[in-house]
């Protein structure tokens, strides 16, 4: 394989990066003081940086490289599509082959009754589409007051004005005048941190019933939709108690509102099924898709809508909304190839039968680690909650994230990319990860946790 190796030395790349590149979700001054880690190549589950060091990518980039790095077929399809038709749009009564074929393919793999997709270039844009689409849907049905979208604290639905408003992250709302009007929030089903003396089952029901209370408080005539990730990803891989989704579904069925499942992380195999909706048996009206749709090889996202919503939107006159690059031919062609490979190689089915249970068994062993208070795993997404006192589900005396940051540093130093959300460590590896790589990931994570424990004991942060 031809590898591009003749880049500038790391220090020079870092200096240019510091001089000219503003980074997302980053404290720029802190980054520039130490220099960014520059990733130059990847294959399978392994990243290579500008110094030639390799690391196991337990985050699949940003939860997206489901099929793993280095699949030549995706590169080839992107190249051929660029030669044949690098760009055309689907506005104003035109279409193109990749968008047509991808929308048909998505209808084939999605849950029953999902036969239409409105394309975007990523998850944030797709969620912006959802805001406008659900309000337009109700207005078209003669109910223009149904505008409020209910979401959850600590949810992540993207970073545009709409996406970040749908999200429930306080740190994001604090910047840039968010949220936009007509958003409401209920609590997250985070039993470990918020469940107190309740059992997980009781707590799950209680959190779900906050949705019903919120609908009643706002008046159902004012509520358009409820949006949620089947499993909260960026919030820290918060797996809801088993009672949660059935109760949410009951409430959505009982009241006239739309249910939006944000499948941007959960979709395309992450839960060991095609969609998180399949995993939980949820029946949403809209599903947001992106990330694993193209395994991150090209930007593409979209809103999949159920037949009822599609019918109303199709017959509601001009839907005055769209993105220049929505359903981009290259992104759509790459996504199709990604799905073709997932289907032909039975990547999701094989994973569900073999590596999903194997990973779950390995991950559960962290229950015995003195630093770990709770272990969560669904399919290929997992979290470890670190605590100074297991039995009390206690928090550290240091600011949230202090210990997470230390652990993340040890992971990097040991050649493992694992992210921290506060004091939770999270994984979301490529779903093609094999048993040997799972073993390696587990060993590196265990070693990093041991080193973290030693550090925080020395700093007086443990017990
Ligand atoms: C990443 C993410 C988004 C935003 O997608 P972008 O492609 O970054 O715009 C939306 N929802 C969820 C659940 C996500 O994880």
In ligand 1, which atom is closest to the CA atom of 233? 15
Distance 251 CA to ligand 1 centre (A): 26
In ligand 1, which atom is closest to the CA atom of 229? 13
Res 82: pLDDT = 98
Domain coordinates in residue numbering, the chain: 37-70+346-458, 73-344
Note whether 321 and 297 are within 8 A (CB). Answer: no
| Positive/negative CA dihedral, 187, 251, 110, 242 | positive
Topology of 73-344 in CATH? 3.40.640
Residue among 126, 291, 326 whose CB has most ligand 1 atoms within 8 A, to mutate: 291
- For the beta carbon of residue 45, count every other beta carbon within 10 angstroms: 25
Residue 185 has phi, psi (to 5 degrees) of: -135, 145
Confidence of residue 463 (pLDDT cuts 50, 70, 90): confident
* Nearest alpha carbon to residue 193 among 372, 363, 365, 374: 374
Region 190-202: what's the mean pLDDT?
97
Say what percent of the chain tops pLDDT 70: 99
Res 24: pLDDT = 97
Residue 319 tokens, joined: 């839907």
**Atom 11 (ligand 1) nearest CA:** 157
* Nearest alpha carbon to residue 351 among 428, 431, 429, 276: 431
Q: Which CATH number fits domain 37-70+346-458: 3.40.50.2000, 3.60.10.10, 3.40.50.150, 3.90.1150.10?
A: 3.90.1150.10
Region 446-461: what's the mean pLDDT?
97
pLDDT tens-digit series, residues 360-395: 999 999 999 999 999 999 999 999 999 999 999 999
Res 5: pLDDT = 62
Q: Note the residue count of the chain.
A: 463
262 in contact with ligand 1, CB cutoff 6 A: yes
Quick one: which H or E segment has residue 310?
A: helix 307-314
Res 1: pLDDT = 44
Confidence of residue 274 (pLDDT cuts 50, 70, 90): very high
Q: 15: buried, middle or exposed (CB in 10 Å: 19+, 13-18, 0-12)?
A: middle
Residue among 129, 158, 230 whose CB has most ligand 1 atoms within 8 A, to mutate: 158
Would you give the end-to-end CA distance of the chain in angstroms? 51
157 in contact with ligand 1, CB cutoff 6 A: yes
156 in contact with ligand 1, CB cutoff 6 A: yes
In the sheet that holds 286-289, the strands lie side by side as: 114-120, 301-306, 286-289, 258-262, 223-228, 148-152, 183-186
Region 416-436: what's the mean pLDDT?
98
Note whether 325 and 88 are within 8 A (CB). Answer: no
In ligand 1, which atom is closest to the CA atom of 124? 9
Note whether 151 and 228 are within 8 A (CB). Answer: yes
Note whether 150 and 211 are within 8 A (CB). Answer: yes
* Nearest alpha carbon to residue 378 among 250, 273, 234: 273
* Nearest alpha carbon to residue 421 among 438, 408, 435: 408
Note whether 258 and 304 are within 8 A (CB). Answer: no
Answer yes or no: is pLDDT of 3 > 90: no
3-class state of residue 135 by DSSP:
helix
Answer yes or no: is pLDDT of 244 > 60: yes
Res 61: pLDDT = 98
- Side-chain-facing half-sphere of 83: CA atoms under 13 Å: 5
211 in contact with ligand 1, CB cutoff 6 A: no
263 in contact with ligand 1, CB cutoff 6 A: no
Residue 128 tokens, joined: 């912006």
Give this prediction's pTM.
0.97
In ligand 1, which atom is closest to the CA atom of 127? 10
Region 173-180: what's the mean pLDDT?
97
Average per-residue pLDDT in the chain? 97
- Residue 2 vs residue 45, higher pLDDT: 45
Match 């540093």 to its residue by tokens. 409
Distance 405 CA to ligand 1 centre (A): 23
| Positive/negative CA dihedral, 158, 175, 227, 425 | positive
Res 80: pLDDT = 98
Res 373: pLDDT = 96
Those residues whose C-beta lies under 8 Å from the C-beta of residue 431, and which sit 6 or more positions away, are 60, 66, 67, 68, 269, 270, 292, 347, 348, 351, 355, 379, 380
In ligand 1, which atom is closest to the CA atom of 158? 4
Distance 41 CA to ligand 1 centre (A): 23
323 in contact with ligand 1, CB cutoff 6 A: no
Res 4: pLDDT = 58
**What is d(CA 158, CA 166) in angstroms, rounded to the nearest whole number?**
8
Region 200-229: what's the mean pLDDT?
98
Residue among 156, 298, 304 whose CB has most ligand 1 atoms within 8 A, to mutate: 156
């Amino acid at each position: 394989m031809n590898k591009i190796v003749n880049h500038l030395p790391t220090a020079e790349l870092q200096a240019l990066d510091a001089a000219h590149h503003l980074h997302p979700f980053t404290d720029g001054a802190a980054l520039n003081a130490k220099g960014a880690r520059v990733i130059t190549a990847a294959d399978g589950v392994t990243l290579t940086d500008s110094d030639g060091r390799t690391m196991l990518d337990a985050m699949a980039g940003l939860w997206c490289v489901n099929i793993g790095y280095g699949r030549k077929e995706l590169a080839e399809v992107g190249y051929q599509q660029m030669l044949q038709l690098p760009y055309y749009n689907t506005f104003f009564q035109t279409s193109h082959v990749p968008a047509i074929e991808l929308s048909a393919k998505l209808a084939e793999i999605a849950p029953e009754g999902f036969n239409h997709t409105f394309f975007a270039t990523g998850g944030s844009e797709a969620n912006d589409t959802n805001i406008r689409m659900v309000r337009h849907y109700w207005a078209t049905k003669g109910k223009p007051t149904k505008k409020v979208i209910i979401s959850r604290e600590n949810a992540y639905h993207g970073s545009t004005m709409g996406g970040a408003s749908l999200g429930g992250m306080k740190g994001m709302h604090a910047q840039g005048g968010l949220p936009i009007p007509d958003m409401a929030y209920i609590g997250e089903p985070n039993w470990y941190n918020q469940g107190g003396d309740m059992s997980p089952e009781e707590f799950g029901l209680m959190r779900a019933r906050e949705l019903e209370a919120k609908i009643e408080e706002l008046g159902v005539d004012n509520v358009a939709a409820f949006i949620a990730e089947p499993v909260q990803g960026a919030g820290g891989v918060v797996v809801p108690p088993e009672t949660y989704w059935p109760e949410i579904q009951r409430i959505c069925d009982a009241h006239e509102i739309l249910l939006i499942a944000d499948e941007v992380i959960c979709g395309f195999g992450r839960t060991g099924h095609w969609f998180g909706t399949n995993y939980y048996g949820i029946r949403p009206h809209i599903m947001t898709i992106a990330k694993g749709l193209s395994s991150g090889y090209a930007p593409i996202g979209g809103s999949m809508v159920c037949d009822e919503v599609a019918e109303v939107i199709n017959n509601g006159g001009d839907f005055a909304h769209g993105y220049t690059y929505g359903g981009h031919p290259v992104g759509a062609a790459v996504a199709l190839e990604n799905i073709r490979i997932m289907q032909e190689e039975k990547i999701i089915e094989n994973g569900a039968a073999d590596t999903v249970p194997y990973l779950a068994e390995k991950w559960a062993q962290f229950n015995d680690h003195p630093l770990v208070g709770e272990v969560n795993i669904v399919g290929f997404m997992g979290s470890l909650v670190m605590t100074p006192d297991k039995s009390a589900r206690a928090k550290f005396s240091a600011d949230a994230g202090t210990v997470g940051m230390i652990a993340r540093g040890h992971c990097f130093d040991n050649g493992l990319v694992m992210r921290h959300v506060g004091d939770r460590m999270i994984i979301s590896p490529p779903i093609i990860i094999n048993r040997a790589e799972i073993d390696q990931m587990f060993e590196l994570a265990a070693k990093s946790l041991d080193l973290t424990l030693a550090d925080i004991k020395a700093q007086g942060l443990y017990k």
